Amino acid sequence: MLRTRMPAILGLAAVLISTLAAAQTREFPSEQGTLQVKQLVAGLEHPWSMAFLPDRHGLLVSERPGRLRLISLQGELSEPLAGVPAVYARGQGGLLDVALSPDFARDRLVYLSYAEAGDGEYAGTAVGRGRLSPDQRKLQGFEVIFRQLPKLSSGLHFGSRLVFDRDGYLFIALGENNQRSTAQDLDKLQGKVVRLHPDGKVPHDNPFVGQPGARAEIWSYGHRNQQGAALNPWTGQLWTHEHGPRGGDEINIPQAGKNYGWPLATHGLNYSFLPIPEARGKTVAGTEPPHYVWGKSPAISGMAFYDGERFPAWRGNLFIGALAGQALIRLELRGDRVVHEERLLEQLGARIRDVRQGPDGYLYVLTDAGNGQLLRLALLPQ
């Protein structure tokens, strides 16, 4: 009797497995064709960022409570890696961005940004690096190379994103810790983009080196809460984006020594619907206007330029996650100018925290939830 039932049982198991796989792959219409969305991993706790290892050896994913995971491109999830620093996991704080050294194939250095507790009640953003062990189970010799000072956050507006440029400089895009005026203070590191050597030393040609009362790390200032940054692969320029208050999310192309306005210039209002007390208008003399701005905030996070060959219709586009907007925003570019916007993945009803182009040419997306997912996106031919 057991022999008679076994084929039926195996057949039923095959159907269930097939059904589960089908449930993990969904298709949605888009302007450029059918968007195929495959779930690779679920059960991540508020995943924040990802970085792809070379030679398609998977990707590192950070979880805000303080875990770093290795995930294969087939969706195999590791145990948390050892050697990750303790994080201030309150409010918006925790383990944030992850990036690889430009010379990772030789030095195996992994860079992390995270919220770090201070001596008192406040915290700030820190950046450190450690060497990924040969067995890929831990970070060895982790050292802090940067601290946002003074520490002023009670759980809000840490930023942050890490980007290496073509010359190997490390850019760190920071939040203003929800202390608005500090974004204009050159003696503080809140609301700034900073530029460092990979070991944390300050380049001699940073714009405020030698200026009394100014932090030498600063590259640009007047930013609010930056949660997206990427290097434009065609121009080599750094692009960042930041949350506005109620309205006024914006993209910038930060230039050395320039002031990007917050809180003097903003397209947004306070969450109470009242004007920002320090604001003087949408544009203010002596500050740079946003490169692109949303009147209604999608609450943007993550940024990726698509320069892959797999999906030609996406080539030259910029992708940005939306948290409150629960979408993946696709921006068509003509040179540096944004000429069209499309919202993708709205059917999922998920907060999109990060987006990256994988080495295989697919787009990868993290959803921000207690049961967060890693999704792989493909564009099917029309």
Helices and strands, counts by H and E, the chain: 2, 24
- Sequence-ordered list of residues with C-beta below 8 angstroms from that of 270, at least 6 positions apart, any chain: 245, 246, 276
Kindly report each contact of residues 236-243 with a partner whose C-beta sits within 8 Å and lies 24 or more positions away, as own/partner.
236/165, 236/166, 238/163, 238/165, 238/171, 238/193, 239/291, 239/303, 239/305, 239/318, 240/161, 240/173, 240/193, 240/303, 241/300, 241/303, 241/320, 242/173, 242/175, 242/300, 243/157, 243/297, 243/299, 243/300
Q: Is 282 helix (H, G, I), strand (E, B) or coil?
A: coil
| CA 96 to chain CA mean position, Å | 8
Distance CA 293, CA 286 (A): 19
Contacts of 75 (CB under 8 A, 6+ apart): 40, 41, 374
Q: How many CA atoms lie within 13 A of 29 on its CB side?
A: 1
Q: Are 326 and 350 in contact (CB under 8 A)?
A: yes
With beta carbons less than 8 A apart as the criterion, state whether 342 and 357 touch: no
Q: 183: which 2 tokens?
A: 């974004």
Cα distance between residue 379 and residue 323, in whole Å: 22
Centre a 10 Å sphere on the Cβ of residue 367 and count the other Cβ atoms it contains.
25
Q: Is residue 218 packed enough to be buried (19+ CB in 10 Å), middle (13-18) or exposed (0-12)?
A: buried
Q: Fill in the DSSP letter of residue 27.
A: E
**Which backbone phi and psi does 234 adopt, to 5 degrees?**
-95, -30
Which tokens is 216 given? 């030498």
Give the residue numbers annotated as catalytic, written as ranges: 157
**CA dist 95 to 87, 121, 170, 310, Å?**
6, 18, 18, 32
